[in-house]
Amino acid sequence: MKARQAVISFSQSEKVKSGLIWASQCVHILQNLPEQDKKGALEILKSLVAMISNEVQLARQASGDGVWLEVDKCLNNARIMIDSGVAAEAEYHFTQGLTQVNRIGQKSMTYLIENGLLT
């Protein structure tokens, strides 16, 4: 890992982590909405997942770290659950993605600290 890659991965991991937490919370909110509001909420959730996916793609391309592909797979699986009408099941995939993102962030932060770039 190089310093540039570590900085990008660390920065993007924090951004993606926030998005995944928000998406998980949206799934919880969605479950408690009246039926007439669920269609609009699903569209918002789909948009949020698309935005998170874009950030993951950016992280992968900018950092060159292939581990971001694992996060992308988790998001794709979550998107499938949402599109299949079982949005509640997407939370599992968000959690799996969050685990991967935490690993990326931890690895990057460790590198930055060991090289004196982060204190």
Contacts (Cβ under 8 Å, ≥6 apart) of 53: 72, 75, 76, 79
61-17-64 Cα angle (round to 5): 15
Per-residue pLDDT tens for 44-77?
999 999 999 999 999 999 999 899 999 999 999 9
How many alpha carbons lie under 13 Å from residue 26 in its C-beta half-sphere? 24
Q: Tell me the pTM.
A: 0.92
Rg (CA), the chain: 16
Task: Give pLDDT tens digits along the chain (119 positions).
Answer: 799 999 999 999 999 999 999 999 999 999 999 999 999 999 999 999 999 999 999 999 999 989 999 999 999 999 999 999 999 999 999 999 999 999 999 999 999 999 999 88
Neighbours of 93 (CB within 10 A): 23
Written as six digits, the tokens of 92 are 């599992």
- Looking at residue 1, its pLDDT comes to 79
CA distance 18 to 68: 16
CA distance 14 to 117: 17
Chain mean position to CA 115: 27
Phi, psi of 90, rounded to the nearest 5 degrees: -65, -25
> What mean pLDDT value characterizes the chain?
95
**To the nearest whole percent, how much of the chain has pLDDT over 70?**
100
